[in-house]
Structure 1
């Protein structure tokens, strides 16, 4: 990836943001800033950066929560930059979807090297869209909203979870077992009736005819996929 990449820095310390901005801009990167978790998630959804540098000690929510919410709709590389040096914190962040972890205080040359390494993970133009549209249906994974003809569709938690999982891989079949494992848990991989009921309710709310589906397509004996717009 060229050094015109956009990097979002989420940190509540103005001096850290200034230091990182100066260092990154000097290397040719474009830098966005956010002082809290909510602002960081909003910036990520609106601007689709190529890399997120994330502090864990944010004033409005823990950085681990920011990471979890971001990973619900984006695979953008995330570099955690935190004073938390315990192995438990590092493992939690890495298991939660972080790609790398640097503790404060840090050396700027090492930091820049890690940035370059993470940017190589994502080919140019591969940033994900936070919203998926199929005709009149829009699934906004960042805002957790589903709109049909511009009106919000009220879904239960399980209904939204199924729709969101399909929306993360539009056009690709996700097996019944995978959906059941991801949404209901590993002890429910054989409870296909749970999934059929939820999909049926979603189709009713979408006005989607299962015999001629516009949105959710059944692959008999395999699973479901979201039709591509």
Structure 2
């Protein structure tokens, strides 16, 4: 094995709206253009909503720390007919209180300070769309385990699961690949956009397992030496 770094995820001309202050907007717009995306820039949340009402974007990257973003929900704003997936840049390690106006479909988080490689990786996943699993009206599900992509929430039966962004991404990846064993490398690239040590992955899986399987039959399993998979244990064979 060499120490070669993996190539950054690249676009194929998709139109991305970057919403952020001057430094964030310049960094991301230049990087995304070099990576093969077309970009437009909005400096405020209000401007972003106006643009989203006038143009059809494939994806929105939104810095939630902009001063006007928290108050947008209570203001009269132009209707947005097309709901693109949204990648939030946030200072909070929480999946609550995301701005709903820009997108009620696929959503994801990157916490600030962010790494460009992770932003590109998360964008690529959102642009691919949801995986081939059974969906209820809000998102993928397996039995009584349901992921609500519109609200970035999960529940097992009637119990709401309090997930961090990394735990949410891991659960989504396991759900859309139900009954498939995912290697640690696959999980690491999906959750963080790069390779992390085994210990970080094992701790993340352990935390998620404690929340998902706390009061119900286990759905998250280890295939020793290979990785992790989600499903009923009898389905492994």
**TM-score scaled by length of structure 2:** 0.43
More helix by share: 1
Structure exhibiting the larger radius of gyration computed from Cα positions: 1
**TM-score scaled by length of structure 1:** 0.44
